Every structure is written in C-alpha cells, then in structure tokens.
Structure 1
Amino acid sequence: MFATVKQAAPVLKMDAPHWDEDQVKDLWGKLPTPEQLRFQVFTDQFTQLGTQMKEAHERFVAAESDFNAQQQAGDAKLAQEISRLGAEHQAISDGHAALSAEREHLRTTQAALENERAGLQQHRLAITRQEEHLTVREAELRGGLVAEREQSLAELRKQVSDLETLRNRLPADMDKERQTLLAQARLDAQALMASAEQHAATLHGREIRLNTLELELDKRNERQQMNEELLQVRCASLTKEIEEGFQRQLDDKEEQLQRRLKDLDKLHNRIDQQQSELDGLESLRDQVGDDPQRMLDELDALRQDKRALDREVQALRANRSEDDANELRSQRDRLQERLTKDENELFDLRHRESVWRSSVTEQQDWQKARKVLEKNRELLHDVVDRLQSDVDGMLSKQKENTVFPELTRMDLELIKPVHTDPVPELKHLVGDLQARILYAEPGKELHFRKEELQLFVGGLAMSQLHIFQGISGTGKTSLATAFAKAVGGECTIVPVQAGWRERADLLGHFNSFEKRYYERNTLQALYRAQTEADQDRLHIVLLDEMNLSRPEQYFAEFLSAMELSERDRWINLMEARPAHGAPTKLRNGRDILLPPNLWFIGTANHDETTNAFADKTHDRAFVLELPKQDTVKEKIAKPQSRASWSFESLNRQFNKARDKYKDQIAELQTLINQSSLTTLLSETFRLGWGNRLESQMQRFVPVVLEAGGSEALAVDHLLASRMFRDGKVIGRHDVDANKLHQVEDALRVMWEDCELTGEPTRCLAALESDIERLDSGR
C-alpha cells in the first residue's frame, strides 16, 4: 500500500507521506481491542484503495508510453514530409533557374537573328540598286524599237477591245434567244395543257355519264336478281309453311280424336262393367230370393244411370264432330286468303319480271354505246398521254436549266396538302405518344417513361434544336425516328462527318462552272417542310453524332437564326440570285427560311473522338439526358389507327398552355430572381439567368405542366441543363467544395421558398458528383 502511494505521489505532484509499515503496526498495538478492530477495517479499505491506485497508475504509464510512441512516429513522418517538400522546393528552384537560363539564351539568339536580318536587308538593297541600273541601260539600248512596239500594241489593244465587245454582247444575245425560246415553249405548253385539259374534261364528263349508266344498269340487274331470288325463296317458304301448318293441324286433330276415342272406350268399358254387375245382382237375387220390388228399383236406377251415360256419350260425340268441323273450316278459310294474297303478289312479281325482260334490248343498246365510249376513251387517253409526254419533256428541259433541280421538282409535285389530324389535348397527348412510340418500330418495343416524354414535348415548344445525350443503347436515335413515325411526320437522317467546318457541308454548295446547286438532304428537308403538301406536318432532321465536328462552325447560321423571330429566320445559300429557274419558296432565289414545323435533333456521345458543346450551342438547345430504357411493366394498348399530327394544332396547344400558366410562371420567375441562389451565382460564379433563359422558361414550363408534369420536374431539368453543368457551376478549377455546399444550401432554400415539391434531384446529383471530384483531388 505504501509503495503504491510513493509511486503515485510524483505523478500527482504531491509529497509522499513519511509513515511506514512499522509505525502503523506500533500505532495499532497501542490501541485498545475495540479500536484495533475499527482500525483494521480502515486499513483494509485503505489497502483496497492502494491496489486500485496502483492499477490506475499502471494504465496511466502504459497510455503515456503509447502516446510517446505515436508522437515519435508523427515527428518522424513530419520530418519525412518536410524533407520531401524541401526536395520538391529544390527541384522547383532548379527548374526556375533552368528556365531563366533558357530565357537568357533565347534573348541572345533573338538579338543575333535581328542583326542577321539587318544585314540581309542591306544586301537586298544593294541588289535592288544594281537591278535598277541594269534596267536603265537595257531601256537605253532598246529605245529605237519603242515606237514600233507602241504602234503594234495599240492595234492589238483595239482588236482585244473589239473581241471583248463581241464577247460581252454574246451572252446577252444568247440569254435573249433563250428567253424567247422559253417564252415560246411556255406558250406551247400552255396551249397543249389547255387542249389536254379540255379533252380530259370532255372525256371525264363522258366517263362520268357512262359510269352513271353502268351503275344504274348494275343496280337494276342486282334488284331484278334479288327480287327473283326473293320470290323463289318466299314461294318455297310459303309452300313449306302451308304444308307444315296443315300437317301440324292434322296431327293435332288426330291427337284430339284419339283422346276422345279413348274416353269413349273408357265409357263403354264402364257400361259393360255396370251391366255385368247388374247381371250379377240378378243372378244373386235369383239365388238369395231377395225382395223383387227393391231389386226392380235398383235395376231402374241402374238403367237410368246407363241412359244418362249414353246421353253423355252422344253429347260428347256430337260436340266433337261439330267443333272439329268448324275449326277446320276457319283454318281453311284463313289459308285460302293467304294463298290468294300470295298468288296476287306472285302475279305482280311476274309482271315486273316481264317488264324488266322487255328492257333487255335497251340494255344491249347501252352496252353497244358503252363499247363506243370506251373506244373513244382509249383514243383520248392516247392523245392525253402524248400531250403529257410532250409537256414532261418540256418541263424536263426546263428542269435541266434550273439551278435547284430537286427544289424545283418539289414545286411541281408537292402541291396538294396532305391530310393531318388534330393533336390530342396535352393532358392526354403524352399517354397517346407513349403508346405510339412503343409500337412505332415493327418487331421492336421502345419504352420511354412519361417524365422523359413530358420534358421532350416541353422541349418542342422551347427550341428547334434538341440534343439527346446518354450512353450507347439508351435510344437517342430511336426516340427521334420513332417520334416521327408515331406522329406521321418526316425524319431525314444526316450523318455528321468529322471534317465538317462550314455551312456547305450541311446544306450543299453552288458549282459556278455547271451553274447548279448541289442540294444536300438537309436543304431538301428544309424546303419540303415549306411546300403546300407538307407545311402542316411535323419534320425532323436527325444530326447523327453531331459533335464529331463543332456545331458552332457548320451550324453557326442556324444558331444565329434561332435568336430571331420565326419570319426572319432566313439562311443564305448563295451570294448572287440565279439568272433563271429559282424555286418559289426561296427569297430572292438565294435565301431559305427555317420553317417553324421543323426541328433539328442531334445525338451526342462524349469520348476522345468528339467535341464538347460550346455555350453558344448549349444555351440555345433543349438538352435531354436519356437513361437506359426500362422494361415495360404495364400493359399499354396498341393504337388502333395511325396518326398524322397537325403542326398548327400542336402549336395552338402550346400557346394555350402558355396563356393558361402565364401568371403562375411570372410569379415563379420573380421568386427565383429574388432568391439567395441568384445572388450567390451572380457574385461568386458571375452567372445570371438572362433574357434567353427566362423566355425559354415561359415556353417550356407551361407545356410540361399541361402535359401532366410538375413545376419541380421542369425547373429542375432547366436549371440542371443550363446552370448545373460543366463550365458553369460544376466542373471548374477555381471553385472549391465549400462554395458548392453553399450553392446546395441556397438551392434547397429557393426550392422551399418557391413551394416546389420533392427535391431538385438532377441539380443535387450534379453538385454531389462534383463535390466528390474535388474531395478526391481530381
């Protein structure tokens, strides 16, 4: 115990007591026995306390030893880190010194090159002066020939002037002659067309009359045949019905007669039985000798009963005969009346048949006239075919002279509007579109969630440029092509090449030697969407892998045009207006309009072979990240008929939704502009919403809401694709994780202030991914 106290005293910074064990024992011996017992209890407790103090002291010593060991290891590691940093600092210093030496060497080399350049300039000046001297001497030597050469030169210039005058006048004469020939050809074509139309109209009228006569004749023949068949059927049916009726009646009467005969037999049996009983009674009376008077009375009673039964039998027989005769007579009369009526109807039908047969001669005359008309029709068809061939030949020659052959062909062929169907209301549109896309590709089911389709439909109202991103197999290309098939639209697939740099790679170019514009598929799709036939249909131009080249180069004019109003979105094709043959939809023969019923949809992959989108492209496009397709969990009915959606109807639905939610979206924009998130993005990241983003929100969010989505879904997508992407809020090297945490907090506060449901999952996912990147030091 005392040893433990002595060990613990220095640790506690206290003096050890001067008592020892002998002093305690001496004190214990001097105490009385009762006090010794109390002192023994105290010493036992004190001993236990000493033991516990010893154990605590040992633990303290062990902990102190571990701490010292850890401190030594940390000091060693710190020394190694200081050594490594010193080495790196020395390496940086050495590199800096090497760079300084290299910079000094470059300065020396540059000064030497400057001196050498000055020497070369002086040498060149000397050579130039020598050339001037030699030229003067040569001119002096040839001075005698100058006059003769000047005269020859004047004559030559005159000849050249005459030839140039002739050359300049020749195109005008050729153009004038060409215009004269074209005018004459147009007049001839108009005359031929007028004649053809007149012959065609006459032929059409005759054909109509012939068809009318044939139709009437066929109808009369059909009615005659039907009436004959009906008459035969009715006669057979009536005969069969009469026979069956008589047979049923005979069977009924026979059955009734048998029942009456059975009743009669029963009565006869009863009479015979009573007669035998009477005979038995007579013999019994004779045998027993009964009272004769009583027996006579009984016999009279029996006889009276027999007479009553005979009368009943006679009455039954009389009633049966009279009733049966009357019923049969009435049935005979009814059947006779029906037979008479049917005979009259049969006579009438036979009379009508004789009248129809009398018209056989007239029918034969009609057939002869029909053959004559058919012969005339064949002759007129031959004439029309020859005229059409002549007109086609003239048009073909005219087409060969046009600068835009394919666009000119569309002017001639796509003139009849295609029938389109009204678009369902937006609240039903997404479900209908999901079902149509699911079964759009034969043998392949394409399932896209309603949330993705709600955003896609909102994107159609927001921008004419869509960008679909996602890993391979997510349906980027399939969504564009299946959408076009589902709505009865046109989809033009344009594979983007890695070397595209300018507008001509996308639209085509003008060959000045051939005087012809090589129209690529994109240009033809733009023009087709404006024709009379297709101006109310939906058109898609699919730019497959559009970021193999930079869209800011080959798509630059379209990006600029999308900032203008719809009627001012003109794309220039060539500098000068063609001399002739300009398509009707081109402005001044050289500018094409970006039609509102056409959307560009680009698919994008992100790897070492592709380019990142610049802000100019990203901010003007609707960007949709497509996840991997899910399996179909619910049974979706296949649409019964195909649809051909009307663009005008779809646009009206978009405008209706924008007007409906106008005030709600304005209030939402006010809350967002006044939020702490807006302030933080402006002051820390130098980012703002801008007029473009606010305008896109006014067109995008109402359509998503009307299509069954939520404000939270629309705002989350818009912010994630505009602000919370690489180069804006995330993916930067001048931003640390703390700032991103501040953005996350401000985003959550704004979400609550705007009373948006759920969480901004897309924005939060982007922030968390970038915070993880910064924390890992990437």
Structure 2
Amino acid sequence: MVEFGRYYISFLRELLEIIGKFFRSIFESIAVFFSEGIFKLIQNFIMASINFTILDWIIFVIVLLINIVFITVIVVLLLRVLKKYIRFSKQEIEKDELVQEIDFLNRKTMELLDEKNKILALKVSNLGINPDQEEAMEEEIDLSKNRFVKLLQVDLKYENVDPTVNMIETDKVTLEGLVDRFINFSASRLKLYYSKKIILPFIAGMAASKTMILEGISGTGKTSLPYAMGKFFGHDSNIIPVQPSWRDRAEMIGYLNEFTKKFNETDFLKAIYETTYRKDISIIVLDEMNLARVEYYFAELLSLLEMPDKNEWLVDVVPDNKPGDPKNIINGKLLLPGNVWFIGTANKDDSTFTITDKVYDRATPIEINTKSTAFEAPDTEGVIMSHEYLDLLFESAYKDYPMTLKTMENLELLDYFITKNFKVTFGNRIMKQIRSFVPVYVACGGTELDALDFMVARKIFRKFEGLNLPFLQQEITDLSKLIEKLFGKNSFVDCQNYLALIKKQF
C-alpha cells in the first residue's frame, strides 16, 4: 500500500508537469510569435523588398488586400456565428423561464379553481339549494367552457319561449294604415318626425330587398329611423357600430381562435342568431356602414340574400359541429331567417368610403338630407306583427297593384334609350326590385309614377356618376325630353331634378 502511494504521488507530479509544459509551450509560442516572429517576418520582408520591381510591388499590394479581405470575412463570419449562438442561448433561457412561469400560473389557477369550488360549495350548503338548482348552477358554470358563450346564452334565453306572435285585431292593418300609424307613433311616443316621402320607400324597400341603405349628411336622423321602426314593431332594432378596421367577414361575424379554441363572437352574430328564435320583424342596423369598405365585410351576406331559395341562406360560422354547440348552428352553418332586414346608415363625407355598385344594386337606397318639421300627432301605439303577416301584405300588394302594361312599355323604351346612349342598363336584378317596390309603394298610399321615379333615379341615374358627363350633355337633354314624353311633364320629379343638376355642373 505504501509503494502504491509513492507511485500515485509520482504519477500526479509527472502529470501536472506535463500539463504545465503543455500550457507553457503554448504561451511561449504566442510570446515568440508576437515578439520574435512578427519582428522576423518584418525583417525578412524588408530584406526581400530591396530587390522588388514595380510589378512585384503591385502584386504585393494586391495579395495584401486579398489577405486582409479574407481575414476580415473570417472574423465577420465568426462574429455572426457567435452572435447567433448567444441569441439562441438567450432564447432558450427565456423559453425555459416562460415554461416555468406558465407552470407556476397553471398551479395558481388550479389553486384558485379549487378555492372557488370550495366557496361555491359553502354557499350552496348555506343557502340550502336543492340538487336540481345545484345542477343548473354547474351547467351555467360549464357554459364558459364552450366555444360559443354568447350564442348559448341566447339558447338558454329562448329555451322555454313560445315564438308565436299573437296579433290582435287592431294590429292587422293595411300597408297604408301601417305607414300612417308609424308616423303618428313616432311623433307622439318618440318625438321623431317623418314624412310619407321617407316612410313609403322604406316600407316598399323592405319588400324589394332585405338590405337597405339610409344615406345623407350627418345628423339627419338616419339611425333613428330604424330605431323607431324597432320600437314600433315591438322588437328593438340591434344597432351595430361599424368599425373602420373591418376588412372581411370575420370582423363582422367573428372567427374561431385556433389557440384558445373559442369562437370570438360578435354582437352582429348574436343579433342574427337571436332572430332564428323569433317570428316577428327583426331589424339589424349597421351604423355608419361605410366607415369600412362595405363590399369587403358584407359581400357574403349580399350574395346569400340574392339566392331565390331561402333555404340556401346559410352563413358559414365554423368548419364543423361539436357537442355543445348552439342549437341553430347545424353542420357549422347558420340559416338566416326570413324575418330579418339589414339596414345600413351611410354618411357622405371625407371620412367614409364610397359605396360601390355591387352594394347599391342589391340594396334599396334612401336619401335623408333634411329633417322633417315637427307636428302634432294623436297618441298612437305600435303594432305586434309577424313577418308572415307583413309578407302577406306584400303579396296582396303584388296582386292588387301590379305595374300597368303602359308603364312597363314606357320603362322598356327608357331602358333602351339609356342602354344605347349611356351604356347603362337596368338588368334583371333591378327590374325584379322595381316589380316588388312599385306595387307596395302604391299600396302604402303612393303613386306608380312616383315609385318608378324613385327607383330609376337611385338605381339607374346614380350610375351616371361614373360616366364622362361633360361629353354627354346632348344625350342628357334628350333623356330629359324622353322622360317628359313618356311619363308626363310634371312626373318623374326626382329624375328630372337629377338631370338638371348634372347639366348645371357642366
């Protein structure tokens, strides 16, 4: 054992001497390089350069530059590698810290949930809630775990509600009576004053299209009109403020968050979902709809509402169904009911976007640029009306007040002239809207020519804004004369005023 001890001590001494010699030789080599080596290299260069020719000096400079560039590149690459390594190491450290923090938060969350459950259990025992109530409470708590929270709340709200609309005899009014009753109701109950010039096209517009645009200067009561309509029909309108950030349907309807697995529900989605439980008239208002580009975020609904079969009015919400999803979302789709109308308000100023033809062609535009004068009206109640009854009123108007043959022939002549000279045509969509709009307008107490004047001015003449009007002055004059010839001298006031305004501008 003593001999081994001596050997081991000798072994360690020799090992340390070898290691010492190794490092000493390294340091000596470095010292020799920086003291004698560099000095010797410089001396050799000086001795050799005595015999350099001009060509040798040129080659020397070139080689020197190449070597400097090479060394610089090597150093830069090494620095970049080192920088990436440091950054990667830092990210890994931060990731580890984040994982630890998440783990800590998860533990805290579990502790808080346990504490909450204990408190709830204590409250249940203190309040003496029976098992059925306790189960209902648990269901309500579990509601937050579902990906549709707002829509499931709507399901619960209407779970035991009978959607039948019970109309009394006084609610079964004619279209003309409906107009008069609304005007008096709004004036007497809401102190909002409207003339028949506004309400007639509004009611007729509901028959022509599921979308409507109320446009004009700010402060003329565009939003208050659908608000008053909601009060009148006993179902408050849902007013959805449009945000300038809306770029697509996801901003309006919502989207499924793949990270949280929750659906970001919007007030608009909740509003249209609630209409699926109702049978009365529902109005959804897109307030200041042209703060964003309407054709971007509303394009899908515009196309859906064009479908002749209402069973095809399916809005894609999620790609699939999951247990616990809202009752009326089937296969990830929501069927738009026939009792909903979309009313958009639009200001005309520098802060808004221009509404395109795609939107105008599918909607009924109504201009509100003036405030109606206040007047005394008898105290009038609203109506409780189902959308089926309103549809029956529209159907009756189609039968009782169809467009006359002479008016249709004159309209075709007008269409031919406009198509030939202005390259603008009515189109099947607009003709269909006119055939729906005019009879209802007449049934509301208006005249056939006034209804046609309204639609032509806002559906056809509005398209003239995109034409080169200074070179069409003669055609505009001829069009004015043709209208006077076809429909009478004092008819088509809106169209004639519009044409006169165009001529005055140029």
Same-fold call, TM cutoff 0.5? yes
Q: Quick check: 1:712–1:758 contact (8 Å CA) kept in 2? A: no
Q: Quick check: 1:438–1:446 contact (8 Å CA) kept in 2? A: yes
**3-state SS of paired residue (2:482):** helix
Corresponding residue for residue 542 of structure 1 = 285
2:320 to 555, 559, 577: 577
**How many Å separate the matches in 2 of 1:758 and 1:388?**
73
**3-state SS of paired residue (2:223):** helix
**Which protein has the bigger helix share?**
1
How far apart are residue 391 of structure 1 and its match? 2.5
Q: 1:427 to 1:642 in 2, by over 3 A?
A: closer
How far apart are residue 420 of structure 1 and its match? 4.1
**How many Å separate the matches in 1 of 2:409 and 2:312?**
31
Corresponding residue for residue 453 of structure 2 = 716
2:296 to 537, 553, 576: 553
Instruction: State yes or no: 1:671 paired with 2:420.
Output: no
Corresponding residue for residue 342 of structure 1 = none
Instruction: State yes or no: 1:465 paired with 2:217.
Output: no
Instruction: State yes or no: 1:631 paired with 2:370.
Output: no
Corresponding residue for residue 644 of structure 1 = 384
Q: Quick check: 2:189–2:379 contact (8 Å CA) kept in 1? A: no
With normalisation by structure 2, the TM-score equals 0.70
**3-state SS of paired residue (2:461):** coil
Q: Quick check: 1:423–1:646 contact (8 Å CA) kept in 2? A: no
Q: 1:642 to 1:427 in 2, by over 3 A?
A: closer
**How many Å separate the matches in 1 of 2:294 and 2:499?**
27
1:656 to 396, 406, 418: 396
**How many Å separate the matches in 2 of 1:680 and 1:617?**
25
Matched ranges for 1:50-65 at <5 A: none
1:424 to 170, 173, 176: 173
Amino acid aligned to 1:391: E
Corresponding residue for residue 266 of structure 1 = none
Q: 1:490 to 1:632 in 2, by over 3 A?
A: closer
Q: 1:738 to 1:701 in 2, by over 3 A?
A: same
**How many Å separate the matches in 2 of 1:398 and 1:578?**
18
**How many Å separate the matches in 1 of 2:270 and 2:405?**
40
Instruction: State yes or no: 1:387 paired with 2:131.
Output: yes
How far apart are residue 527 of structure 1 and its match? 0.6
How far apart are residue 645 of structure 1 and its match? 2.2
1:699 to 417, 436, 440: 436
1:512 to 249, 255, 258: 258
Amino acid aligned to 1:417: D
1:762 to 445, 470, 494: 494
**How many Å separate the matches in 1 of 2:138 and 2:491?**
68
- Greater CA drift, 493-502 or 711-720: 493-502
Q: 1:528 to 1:709 in 2, by over 3 A?
A: same
**How many Å separate the matches in 1 of 2:205 and 2:390?**
13
Q: 1:447 to 1:746 in 2, by over 3 A?
A: same
How far apart are residue 665 of structure 1 and its match? 4.6
**How many Å separate the matches in 2 of 1:420 and 1:550?**
40
**How many Å separate the matches in 1 of 2:151 and 2:349?**
38
Matched ranges for 1:151-230 at <5 A: none
Q: Quick check: 1:507–1:519 contact (8 Å CA) kept in 2? A: yes
Corresponding residue for residue 741 of structure 1 = 477
Identity %: 29
Q: Quick check: 1:537–1:645 contact (8 Å CA) kept in 2? A: yes
Q: Quick check: 2:151–2:326 contact (8 Å CA) kept in 1? A: yes
Matched ranges for 1:604-623 at <5 A: 604-623=346-365
Where does the alignment leave 5 or more consecutive residues of structure 1 unmatched?
1-381
How far apart are residue 768 of structure 1 and its match? 0.7
**3-state SS of paired residue (1:624):** strand
1:406 to 150, 169, 188: 150
Q: 1:735 to 1:629 in 2, by over 3 A?
A: same
How far apart are residue 463 of structure 1 and its match? 0.9
**How many Å separate the matches in 2 of 1:420 and 1:742?**
55
Residue-by-residue CA offset, 1:14-58 (whole Å, 9 max, x unaligned):
xxxxxxxxxxxxxxxxxxxxxxxxxxxxxxxxxxxxxxxxxxxxx
**How many Å separate the matches in 2 of 1:693 and 1:702?**
15
How far apart are residue 610 of structure 1 and its match? 1.0
Corresponding residue for residue 65 of structure 2 = none
**How many Å separate the matches in 1 of 2:352 and 2:328?**
36
Q: Quick check: 1:685–1:729 contact (8 Å CA) kept in 2? A: no
CA root-mean-square deviation: 2.0
How far apart are residue 745 of structure 1 and its match? 1.1
Corresponding residue for residue 422 of structure 2 = 685
Matched ranges for 1:89-104 at <5 A: none
Instruction: State yes or no: 1:521 paired with 2:258.
Output: no
How far apart are residue 669 of structure 1 and its match? 2.2
How far apart are residue 413 of structure 1 and its match? 2.2
How far apart are residue 492 of structure 1 and its match? 1.2
Residue-by-residue CA offset, 1:571-592 (whole Å, 9 max, x unaligned):
1122x2143212121121x111
Amino acid aligned to 1:658: Y
**3-state SS of paired residue (1:456):** helix
Q: Quick check: 1:420–1:537 contact (8 Å CA) kept in 2? A: no
Matched ranges for 1:75-114 at <5 A: none
**How many Å separate the matches in 2 of 1:457 and 1:734?**
37
**3-state SS of paired residue (1:577):** coil
Q: Quick check: 1:474–1:628 contact (8 Å CA) kept in 2? A: yes
How far apart are residue 705 of structure 1 and its match? 0.7
Where does the alignment leave 5 or more consecutive residues of structure 2 unmatched?
1-126
**How many Å separate the matches in 2 of 1:414 and 1:766?**
49
**3-state SS of paired residue (1:476):** coil
Q: Quick check: 2:207–2:436 contact (8 Å CA) kept in 1? A: yes
- Greater CA drift, 698-707 or 678-687: 678-687
How far apart are residue 398 of structure 1 and its match? 4.3
**How many Å separate the matches in 1 of 2:484 and 2:439?**
23
How far apart are residue 524 of structure 1 and its match? 0.5
Instruction: State yes or no: 1:773 paired with 2:505.
Output: yes
Q: 1:440 to 1:504 in 2, by over 3 A?
A: farther
Higher normalized contact order (CA 8 Å, seq sep 6+, divided by chain length): 2
Pairs aligned (count): 374
Q: 1:666 to 1:406 in 2, by over 3 A?
A: farther
Matched ranges for 1:221-620 at <5 A: 385-415=129-159, 416-417=161-162, 419-421=165-167, 422-441=171-190, 445-531=191-277, 535-565=278-308, 566-574=310-318, 576-588=319-331, 590-620=332-362
Amino acid aligned to 1:457: I
Q: Quick check: 2:281–2:340 contact (8 Å CA) kept in 1? A: yes
Structure 1 residue ranges (4+ consecutive) displaced by more than 6 angstroms after TM superposition: none
How far apart are residue 472 of structure 1 and its match? 2.2
How far apart are residue 599 of structure 1 and its match? 1.2
Amino acid aligned to 2:350: E
Residue-by-residue CA offset, 1:89-138 (whole Å, 9 max, x unaligned):
xxxxxxxxxxxxxxxxxxxxxxxxxxxxxxxxxxxxxxxxxxxxxxxxxx
Residue-by-residue CA offset, 1:448-471 (whole Å, 9 max, x unaligned):
111221111101111111111122
Q: Quick check: 1:440–1:486 contact (8 Å CA) kept in 2? A: no
**How many Å separate the matches in 2 of 1:642 and 1:449?**
17
Q: Quick check: 2:450–2:491 contact (8 Å CA) kept in 1? A: no
**3-state SS of paired residue (2:176):** helix
**3-state SS of paired residue (2:322):** coil
- Between structure 1 and structure 2, the one with the greater Rg is 1
